[in-house]
Structure 1
Amino acid sequence: MISVVLLGAGNVATHLYKAFMNAENVSITQWYNRTRASISSYANEVDITDSLEELKEADLYIIAISDDNIAEFSTELPFTNRFVVHTSGSVAMHDIDKKNKIGVFYPLQTFSKDADINFAEVPICIEVYDKEDLQLLKDLVKAVGCKPHKITTEQRQTLHLAAVFVNNFTNQLYRIGHEICETKNIEFNILHPLIEETAKKIQGMSPFMAQTGPAKRNDKKTIKRQLKLIEKEEHESIYKLLTSSIKRTHGFNSTRINKTTKNSK
């Protein structure tokens, strides 16, 4: 049985709590957060605290807080020579105070508190400073039904960068598409099958091969017509930037894309 203390109460911590509670070989010894009210609803299920001085002994302490606060928070832990990891994709492992054994337990997924996650489908990237600590993290990953991926700090940070492109930036494009639909009273959910098929398609072929659309075909007339439909300057800039990127990727000269005014012939 692996005993764990959770430190933090954000999206990642909340989903880890649920995953560990459902794992047969994991015991949540304690859940800490600076604001007790954030985890008070779990008080009947697990020991909670808002005091670092009250932290209990466990096999592993998981820091699941905002990236900017990890380094300073790790210095505040009132113990030494215990195993402490963080869950960040971008923060270096060595940002954790060296008074403890250090590592990384990074679930590569987008987390929202109200959205259910099947942890068996979540890649978990692990990293340790001392090789002797690696097996514990592997066992914890397997306990929640996942496959462990041992990677370096540089690989993890690069994965996180790639994740920003394929998740955060893509979601912003969804938001823009939603906004464009709203301007003409179109239901955004009409696009849901397209979104799902696009995500499904790249599981069987490379994104390069999966690319479609006017930019990939260098369909200049369609591009000009769509630019005329765009009402916001910000959306126009994004359309032009991505169109130029796709054209370059697929071998077309990326000449300047001008917006054709409605009075143009």
Structure 2
Amino acid sequence: MISVVLIGAGNVATHLYHALNKAKNVDLRQWYNRSLPSIESYKNQVSITNNLNDLVEADVYIIAVSDDAVKPLSIALPFENRLVVHTSGSVGIHDLDKKHKRGVLYPLQTFSKSSELDFSNVPICIETLEKEDFKTLSTLAKALGSTYYKINTEQRQTLHLSAVFVNNFTNQLYRVAHEISDAKSIDFDILKPLILETAKKVQHISPYMAQTGPAKRNDKKTIKKHLKLLEHQDHKAIYQLLTNAIKKTHGR
């Protein structure tokens, strides 16, 4: 049984709370947040506090807060030589105060409080300074039902950058498509099967092989029509940038 104290109450922390709370062989002993009202609705399910001095002893302390808050919060923890980990994709392991046994438990997924998430679909990237701590975190990842990977800081930061492209930037393109279709009173739902099929395709073949469309074909006539249809200059710029990138990739 691994005992855990969870620190923070944002999107990642809230999803971790639910996953930890229902995981077998995990004892979620306490949930800390500096603003108690944010977690007060859970007080009948877990011990809560907004006082760092009241933190109980545990095998792992998970800091799931904003990147800028990780270092000062780790410094403020009123104990030493306990395993303290953060969940950030971009913060280094050495940003944690050296008085602790340090680690990273980075769940590579998009988190929104309003969207349910199955942790069996959340790969977890683990980094530690000591082998024994890696064993602890890998056991915790398995208890959550997640696949885990041994990833160093440089690899993790590169993964985080890649994730921005496949998630954040892709979602912005969905937003652009929504604006374009909505302007002509077209239901965005019509595009959703295409979104799903595109995501499914790269599970089996490389993004390079999966590419289709007028840019790959160098269909100048269709590209010209599309640019004429676009009314927003920002949309035109995005279209041209991505079209040129695809053409370059495929030698057009």
TM-score range, shorter chain: over 0.9
Partner of 2:95: 95
Query: Counterpart in 1 of 2:176?
Result: 176
> For the residues of structure 2 that align with 1:129 and 1:177, how far apart are their CA atoms?
45
The answer for the alignment partner of 2:220 in structure 1 is 220
Cα RMSD after superposing both structures = 0.6
Instruction: Return 5+ residue gaps in structure 2 as ranges.
Output: none
Q: State which structure, 1 or 2, has the greater radius of gyration over its C-alpha atoms.
A: 1
**1:182-221 alignment to 2 at 5 Å?**
182-221=182-221
Aligned to 1:156: 156
Shift of 1:194: 0.2
Shift of the alpha carbon at 1:94? 0.5
- Number of aligned positions between the proteins: 252
Please tell me whether residue 68 in structure 1 is matched to residue 68 in structure 2. Answer: yes
Cα separation, 2, equivalents of 1:237 and 1:147? 39
- How far off its partner does 1:82 sit? 0.7
Q: Who is 2:134 aligned against? A: 134
Q: In the alignment, what sits opposite 1:22?
A: 22
Counterpart position of 1:37: 37
- Once the two structures are superposed, what CA deviation does each residue of 1:78-106 show, in whole Å capped at 9, x if it has no partner? 11111000000111011000010000000
Deviation of 1:227 after TM superposition, in Å, equals 0.3
Q: By how many angstroms is 1:69 displaced?
A: 1.3
Tell me how far 1:153 sits from its aligned partner.
0.7
Counterpart for residue 12 of structure 2:
12
The CA distance in 2 between the partners of 1:196 and 1:241, in whole Å, is 24
Between 163-172 and 64-73, the greater mean CA deviation after superposition: 64-73
Percent pairwise identity? 65
Matches of 1:204 and 1:139, distance apart in 2: 29
Code of the residue aligned with 1:86 in structure 2: it is H
Deviation, structure 1 residue 73: 1.3
SS at match of 2:149: strand
Alignment of 1:105-116 (within 5 A): 105-116=105-116
Matched residue type, 1:54: D
The letter of the residue matching 1:145 is G
| Distance in 2 separating the partners of 1:148 and 1:83 | 18
Q: Distance in 2 between matches of 1:131 and 1:104?
A: 13
Distance across 2 between alignment mates of 1:128 and 1:119:
21
Q: Deviations over 1:93-141 (max 9, x none)?
A: 1100001000000000000001111101211000001122111001000
Shift of 1:157: 0.6
Measure, in 2, the Cα distance between the counterparts of 1:147 and 1:196: 23
Separation (CA, whole Å) in 2 of partners of 1:139 and 1:109:
19
Amino acid at match of 1:165: F
Q: Partner amino acid for 2:122?
A: V
Residue of structure 2 in register with 1:104 after alignment = 104
Aligned-residue offset at 1:72: 1.3
Give 2:231's aligned residue.
Answer: 231
What is the TM-score when the length of structure 1 is the normalising length? Answer: 0.94
TM-score after normalising by structure 2: 0.99
1:142 shift after superposition: 0.6
SS at match of 1:111: coil
* Structure 2 residue matching 1:53: 3-state secondary structure: helix
SS at match of 1:29: strand
SS of residue in 2 equivalent to 1:106:
strand
Distance 2:177 2:237 in 1: 14
State the one-letter code of the partner of 1:147.
Answer: T
Any runs of at least 4 consecutive aligned residues in structure 1 with deviations exceeding 4 A, and if so which? none
